[in-house]
Amino acid sequence: MTIDAWQKSLQAANLLKTPPQTLWSHPLLTIQEVTLHTPHGPLKRLVIHRGTFTAVCVHLVGSTREAFLMVRQQRPVRPEPFYEHPAGMIEPGEDPRIAIARELAEETGLLITPDDLLPLSPQPVYPSPGLWHEKGYFFALRLQVPDALIEAFSQPHLRQNPDEPLHLIALPPHQVLTHTANLQTLAHTLLYLYAQTHPSYGNPPSTSP
């Protein structure tokens, strides 16, 4: 959702009566101060607009073992690297399934079609709605592969992307939950594992950015 669309949605709900004040703007994000007029009084808050992301957990299933194909990369918030599912930002007007297929090819080299993806949430998720105006789509990809491939990726493989170097590594499901400190990755993993034991969970989501 663009900033204009967000603003119009609040106006349509009679929550926004004065335009938000832009405090800082950058190609990657915009910070605004907004006052919402709720039934219980005005609510002044900062909002950071970042856009819409999409992510996919890649489940590698062999004959005797299984793992998630993870991306290990450096983030600026701590010295240790993070283990995450492949993800990226959606271009304005782009289908989230097409976006994650593109990101998956860039980060891992895997080539898929949107029909290969399993949607995991009936609607977009907001990781931190108290401050961030950012929403995203979680998908899963289940691949039958030889055990030898999982074994090969049990050690990190460097992939030199133009904008950020990263490592690919296959982690057993229980290690994903102990290796990652990214809350979004944890929620994504648990949502997928829940869907495996509850096949009727959720409905196909709306994929409008």
* Distance between CA atoms of residues 81 and 119, nearest Å: 27
Lowest-pLDDT range, 130-134, 142-146, 193-197? 193-197
pLDDT over threshold 80, residue 199: no
What distance in Å separates the CA atoms of residue 173 and residue 176, rounded to the nearest whole number? Answer: 5
- pLDDT digits over 31-88, tens only? 999 999 999 999 999 999 999 999 999 999 999 999 999 999 999 999 999 999 999 9
Tell me what pLDDT residue 69 has.
98
Q: What's the whole-model pTM score?
A: 0.89
Cβ atoms of residues 136 and 129 within 8 Å: no
pLDDT tens figures, 94-130: 999 999 999 999 999 999 999 999 999 878 999 999 9
**What pLDDT shows up at residue 200?**
66
| pLDDT score at 122 | 78
pLDDT of the residue at 209? 43
Report all structural domains of the chain as residue ranges with CATH numbers, in order of start. Answer: 3-48 (no CATH), 52-197 (3.90.79.10)
Q: What is the pLDDT of residue 45?
A: 96
Task: For the chain, give the mean pLDDT.
Answer: 92
Residue-by-residue DSSP string for the chain:
--HHHHHHHHHHTT---SPPEEEEE-SS-EEEEEEEEETTEEEEEEEEEEEEEEEEEEEEE-SS-EEEEEEEE--TTSSS-EEE--EEEPPTT--HHHHHHHHHHHHH-----GGGPEE--SS-B-S-TTTEEEEEEEEEEEEE--HHHHHHTTS-EEEE-SS-EEEEEEE-HHHHHHH---HHHHHHHHHHHHHHH-TT-S-PPP---
From the list 112, 157, 174, the residue with the least C-alpha distance to 139 is 112
Give the angle subtended at the CA of 181 by the CAs of 180 and 184, to the nearest 5°: 90
Tell me, what's the pLDDT at 101?
97
